[in-house]
Amino acid sequence: MTHIQLSHGGGGEEMNRLIHSLFFEAFGNETLLQSEDAAALHIKSPIAFTTDGFTVSPLFFEGGDIGKIAIAGTVNDLAMMGARPLYLSAAFIIEEGLALEDLRRIVASMSAELARSSARIVCGDTKVVPKGACDKLFITTSGIGEIVYGGISAHRLCAGDAIIVSRDIGAHGATVLAAREGIGIWGDLRSDCATLWGAVAALLEGALSIHALRDATRGGLAAVLNEWAVASNVCIELEEEAIPISGPVRGLCELLGFEATDFANEGTFVLALPKAQAPRALEILRAMELTCNAALIGEVSQKRPGRVILKSPWGSSRYLELPKGELLPRIC
Amino acid sequence: MSLQLRDLYEGFRDAEVIKALSKRITQESEALREPLHVMEVCGGHTHTIMKYGLKQLLPQNIRFIHGPGCPVCIMPKERIDHAIDLSRMEDAILCTLGDMIRVPGSKGSLAEERAAGRDIRPLYTPLDALKIARENPHKKVIFFAIGFETTTPMSAALLDAAIKAGVENLFLHANHVLVPPAVDAIMADGRAKVNAFIGPSHVSVITGSKIYEPLPIRYGTPVAVSGFEPVDVMEGILMLVRQKNEARCAVEVQYTRAVSREGNTKAQALIERYMEPRAHFRWRGIGDIPHSALRLREAYAHYDAERVFAEHLGNEPIDDHKLCICGTILKGLASPKECKVFGTACTPSTPLGSCMVSSEGACNAYFRFAEV
């Protein structure tokens, strides 16, 4: 057998074999192996709870695959709330005919990504739908994390905060766009897809007053900052030149007329904290491989509450708007 | 050493150079006897001006009047309806370039048609249409071709390649428009305050700067053909200020790294071989302009979607939404912010008018790159 068939989702013997040989093998832990209708968990602290559906096409791209994103995405959502990732669920909707080898690779990638945080998959589901009813494979993961650092919120930015971005922006959106459109770009264009818990944990232990923290996924940096400006009713002023953008991403934007600030990221976050603490935060981030390009890109003021202002090196300025009405492919 | 993409723009976004040009323009413009109303003909320049905030670097007596040079914006609704009608034909695949997908005609947009199940494909390069035609020999593959002189050679090259490959299921719906007749139409109207032109970048690479030579003679307006980077536009402005101050009036080329007087003669020959001027073409908001667009020559009529599928296509002119002032903006008589529905009923996600759709449209540029 080389391809997924409808019988694999039928609830019978074939499905049992698939679950045992593939999912249990890769994700095995005491709770999952109980095979009960639901996982029984014991959590005493306040928790964060999140869910996300993943539909990226192509399934495999430079720097990652749908499995890696499905784990990193949900783990990152928890991390952004100051929560240590603990338990995940994973539901697979598989299109009839998906190569079993592809599914194995994706599951192996999920397993490898799980090892980068304290998260475990404790429950799951598998459905197989007829050809054409979905595009190869959709994965939904939900996650529960233990809040170890409370009070992080989009509503907490205040004038005098510094805005830091954890690395160069737009790599995931650019990579998936180039892969989908068959655009061969020279240079090293690869997704930033990564589990951010390690970097976030280091910040949380750094005796900093973190006001806001968010991974810049769909809508990119522009969306996160606009949401923050509105939620906290503050103005965010950015130095355009300080925003790190890699050569290949800049190249793709130049060629196709996109803005890197609109591109999705899958392993890049933005941080707001009092300006005086920015050097310490940068020092912590730059000491780690994933965030070694972290940069201070701007600060919070009261100039135009609710708006994000982009300042050019030659003295002009404009608003950075929310990305709108663009023809962007499905990327996460 | 290999050429990197950034080598093509890096020096042309240099903050010190831009500041120095701003200072020089401000100094020299004090001698201007009348305000300079510069029409940047091309939407690419409008985009540059807004994206880099160049208006803020210029003195009060230099103003931009945005021109009609956005191929998506000037497409009248009945032509967009053509695209929709073609996509609704049995066994049809309609291909076009990016922004066209979202422009509303009178029957909605191609994006809505695609959602309703039509096979509509946005392309990055026209030659992809040939690949699609080969992969789908039993389908009618129609390339809805748009653009000024810049993109016309690519459509001609597509037709050339299709003929050489013996591909017979590929058709072109040609909407290629020309810069000089449009500029003449705006100036002939007499209401636009334009007294200087920034000439298009990419169009001029193909046509050469010679196509603008009648402008100083007819209208007494200096022309500076400029590149698309901020330093290019600022330097172009300085050239216009100097011409005015020296009471000169000529076509000058700032964008000398790509534009010659004669242009790309190979591309011109390719266009000449396959296309000819139409008697007239209706521009959105501006109306009928004689000889302002191209169509396939009679000898290639069997590749011309307009002729082959004529029975599916209507030709009645369809006017814009009554609140939309795209036409007035395209004629250089209004700025996007004077429109009552700008940013409210009309946004890039719900465009009422074409100028809000394309990234080269003035309204879209004002919306995306709003000044503080």
Specify the length of chain A in residues.
332
Is A201 in the same domain as A56? no
Which A-chain residues 91-120 have CB contacts (< 8 A) with chain B? Answer: none
Specify the length of chain B in residues.
372
The answer to whether B255 and B225 are in contact (CB under 8 A) is: yes
The shortest C-alpha distance from B15 to chain A (Å) reads 5
Q: Is residue B170 part of a domain?
A: yes
Is B274 in the same domain as B358? no
Is B286 in the same domain as B363? no
Q: Return d(Cα A73, Cα B119) in angstroms, integer.
A: 33
Model confidence at A329: pLDDT above 70: no
Q: CB B56 to CB A321 under 8 A?
A: no
Among A147, A177, A197, give the residue marking a domain's end: A147
Closest CA to B366 of A313, A325, A318: A318
Q: Return d(Cα B350, Cα B336) in angstroms, integer.
A: 16
% of chain A with per-residue pLDDT over 90: 78
Q: Is residue A325 part of a domain?
A: no
Is A60 in the same domain as A109? yes
B348 — contact with chain A (CB < 8 Å)? yes
Q: CB B372 to CB A247 under 8 A?
A: no
Q: Is residue A31 part of a domain?
A: yes
For A23-34, how does the pLDDT look when each residue is reduced to its tens digit (9 = 90+)? 999 998 989 988
Is A178 in the same domain as A302? yes
Candidates A254, A314, A319, A322: best to mutate against B (most CBs of B within 10 A) is: A314
Q: CB A317 to CB B53 under 8 A?
A: yes
- Give the contacts of B127 (CB within 8 A, at least 6 positions apart): B154, B157, B158, B161
Q: CB B15 to CB A314 under 8 A?
A: yes
Closest CA to A243 of A293, A204, A282: A293
Which range marks the domain in which residue B334 is found?
326-368
Which residue of B6, B52, B368 is in closest CB contact with A312? Answer: B52
| Total number of domains constituting chain B | 2
Q: Is residue B45 part of a domain?
A: no
Model confidence at A332: pLDDT above 60: no
**Which residue from B minimizes the CA distance to A328?**
B98
Q: In the sheet that B251-253 helps form, which strands lie side by side, from edge to edge? A: B62-69, B36-42, B196-199, B223-225, B251-253
pLDDT at B225: 98
For A152-161, how does the pLDDT look when each residue is reduced to its tens digit (9 = 90+)? 999 999 999 9
- CATH number, domain with residue A262: 3.90.650.10
Q: Is residue A211 part of a domain?
A: yes
Is B88 in the same domain as B161? yes
B1 — contact with chain A (CB < 8 Å)? no
Q: Is residue B137 part of a domain?
A: yes
Q: Is residue A153 part of a domain?
A: no
Is A140 in the same domain as A183? no
Is A52 in the same domain as A28? yes
ipTM given for this complex: 0.81
| Total number of domains constituting chain A | 2
Cα angle A264, A267, A268 (rounded to 5 degrees) comes to 75
Which B-chain residues 19-78 have CB contacts (< 8 A) with chain A? Answer: 19, 22, 50-54, 56-57
Which A-chain residues 17-76 have CB contacts (< 8 A) with chain B? Answer: none
Is B81 in the same domain as B161? yes
Residue spans of alpha helices (H) in chain B: 15-28, 43-51, 77-87, 110-115, 128-135, 152-165, 179-189, 202-207, 214-219, 230-245, 265-274, 305-308, 326-330, 362-368
Q: CB B372 to CB A318 under 8 A?
A: yes
Q: Could you report how far apart the first and last alpha carbons of chain A are, in Å?
A: 29
B124 — contact with chain A (CB < 8 Å)? yes
B347 — contact with chain A (CB < 8 Å)? yes
Chain B residues whose beta carbon lies within 8 Å of the beta carbon of residue A319 = 369-372
Q: DSSP states of B88-140 as a string?
A: TSTTEEEEEEGGGGG--BBTB-HHHHHHTT-EEEEESSTTHHHHHHHH-TTSE
Is A24 in the same domain as A81? yes
A302 — contact with chain B (CB < 8 Å)? no
The answer to whether A166 and A290 are in contact (CB under 8 A) is: yes
Which A-chain residues 256-275 have CB contacts (< 8 A) with chain B? Answer: 256-257
- Give the contacts of B222 (CB within 8 A, at least 6 positions apart): B196, B197, B216, B239, B240, B243, B244, B248, B249, B250, B252
Closest CA to B258 of B238, B234, B237, B229: B229
Residue spans of alpha helices (H) in chain A: 13-18, 25-27, 30-33, 66-79, 100-114, 171-181, 197-204, 220-232, 247-256, 278-286
SS3 A324: coil
Q: Is residue A189 part of a domain?
A: yes
Is B364 in the same domain as B273? no
Chain B residues whose beta carbon lies within 8 Å of the beta carbon of residue A315 = 19, 22, 56-57
Please give the average pLDDT of every successive group of 10 residues along chain B, which has 372 residues.
Answer: 67 93 97 96 92 95 91 91 97 90 88 92 90 97 96 97 97 97 91 94 96 96 96 97 97 96 97 97 91 98 97 88 86 89 88 82 88 82
The shortest C-alpha distance from A168 to chain B (Å) reads 17
Q: CB A247 to CB B6 under 8 A?
A: yes
Chain A residues whose beta carbon lies within 8 Å of the beta carbon of residue B101 = 327
B371 — contact with chain A (CB < 8 Å)? yes
Q: Return d(Cα A260, Cα A170) in angstroms, integer.
A: 5
Among A125, A147, A169, give the residue marking a domain's end: A147
Give the tokens for residue B294.
Answer: 């191209």
Is A135 in the same domain as A172? no
Task: Report which residue type is found at A76.
Answer: N
Structure-token match 């459905």, residue found: A127
The answer to whether B194 and B65 are in contact (CB under 8 A) is: yes
Buried/exposed B159-187: b ≥16 CB within 10 Å, e otherwise: beebeeeebebbbbbbbbbbbbbbbbbbb
B228 — contact with chain A (CB < 8 Å)? no
Q: Is residue B142 part of a domain?
A: yes
pLDDT at B349: 79
Q: Is residue A196 part of a domain?
A: yes
pLDDT at B69: 87
Is B82 in the same domain as B170? yes
pLDDT at A328: 53
pLDDT at A312: 96
Is B101 in the same domain as B170? yes
- CATH number, domain with residue A51: 3.30.1330.10
- CATH number, domain with residue B157: 3.40.50.11740
Candidates A255, A316, A319, A322: best to mutate against B (most CBs of B within 10 A) is: A316
Q: CB A315 to CB B19 under 8 A?
A: yes
Which range marks the domain in which residue A65 is found?
6-147
Is A263 in the same domain as A190? yes
Chain A, chain B: beta-carbon pairs less than 8 Å apart = 71
Is A127 in the same domain as A174? no
Which residue of A183, A309, A314 is in closest CB contact with B372? Answer: A309
Is A181 in the same domain as A56? no
The shortest C-alpha distance from B9 to chain A (Å) reads 9
Is B126 in the same domain as B151? yes
Cα separation values, A43 from A48, A77, A84, A245, Å: 11, 19, 12, 41
Which residue of A183, A321, A324 is in closest CB contact with B370? Answer: A321
Model confidence at A324: pLDDT above 80: no
Q: Is residue A39 part of a domain?
A: yes
Among A147, A171, A189, give the residue marking a domain's end: A147
Closest CA to A160 of A311, A286, A303: A303
Is B269 in the same domain as B300? yes
Q: CB B53 to CB A325 under 8 A?
A: no
Buried/exposed A185-208: b ≥16 CB within 10 Å, e otherwise: beeebbbbbbbbbebbbebbeeeb
pLDDT at B361: 87
The shortest C-alpha distance from B232 to chain A (Å) reads 15
Which residue of A251, A304, A316 is in closest CB contact with B53? Answer: A316
Q: CB B348 to CB A325 under 8 A?
A: yes
Q: Is residue B165 part of a domain?
A: yes
Is A50 in the same domain as A197? no
Is A263 in the same domain as A294? yes
Q: Residue A184 — very low, low, confident or very high, per pLDDT cuts 50/70/90?
A: low
Q: Is residue A324 part of a domain?
A: no
Angle between helices B43-51 and B230-245 (to 10 degrees): 110
The H helix count followed by the E strand count for chain A is 10, 13
Q: Return d(Cα B213, Cα B180) in angstroms, integer.
A: 10
Give the tokens for residue B62.
Answer: 């230099």
pLDDT at A331: 52
